[in-house]
Amino acid sequence: MPLQEWDAMINANLVGTAASVRAVLPSMRARGWGRIVLISSSVAEEGLPGPGPYGTAKSGLYGLARSLAWNGGRDGILVNVVAPGFTLTDSRPDIPAFVTDALAAATPTRRLSNSDDVANLIVFLGSAANGNLTGEVIRDGSAAARAPHIGG
């Protein structure tokens, strides 16, 4: 893969995220409160066939969150990463049931997450209900399929 394609993926998924965070941090610090939720992917840990710029960029968010947790925590700013696995959405193309059934069978709950599952996790992490969880990567239920006992 040409380096300009790597650059584009890293800029869109890591550098752009860092720039967005940089833009909101001063006002959060001034208020003494803030919640930042970065969106990664199970691909950051599991990878995909090919050269991997997407997974590389998404895994960079883990380091960003850990650094920001230490730098922002004393100012009341909590920073976490949500790493969804395969998620059922209205925008996904038709996927044969045998594929989604197999993916669901590889999760502890035996079902795939939907967009509401992921959104509810993000809402919690971004709310005052999250009182002290910071610097963490939180995987939704579909991401649990990475476990070595899949299908067991």
Structure tokens of 18?
């860092």
- b/e burial code for range 24-39 (CB count within 10 A of at least 16 → b): ebeebbeeeebbbbbe
Active-site residue, from 35, 42, 54, 65: 54
Any catalytic annotation for residue 62? Answer: no
* CA dist 9 → 13, 49, 55, 64 (Å): 6, 16, 9, 16
CA distance 86 to 2: 27
What is the CB neighbour count within 10 angstroms for residue 66? 16
- Evaluate whether 75 touches 29 at the Cβ level (below 8 Å): yes
The catalytic residues are 54
